[in-house]
Structure 1
Amino acid sequence: MKRIVIAITGASAMQLGERSIQLLLENDKSVDLILSKGAYEVAKSERNINIPVEPKAQSEFWRNKLRVESGDLNCYRWNDHSASIASGSHKTKGMVIVPCSMGTLGRIASGFSLDLIERCADVHLKENRPLIISPRESPFNLIHIENIKRVATAGAIIVPPIPAWYTNPKSIEDIIDFIVVRLFDSLGEDLDNIKRWVGPNK
Structure 2
Amino acid sequence: IIQGYMHLLSERSTNDSEIAEIINVIANATKRGTGLVQQLLTLARKTQPQLQPTAVDAMLRELLRLLDQTFPKNIEVNLVSNNQLPLINVDLNQMTQALLNICINARDAMPNGGKLTFEAKVVDGQTVADDHETTAARYVCIAITDTGAGMDADTQNRIFEPFFTTKPIGQGTGLGLSVTYGIVKTHDGFVKVDSKPTEGTTFRIYLPAR
Q: Which TM-score applies when normalising by structure 1?
A: 0.23
Larger Rg: 2
* Structure with higher strand content: 2
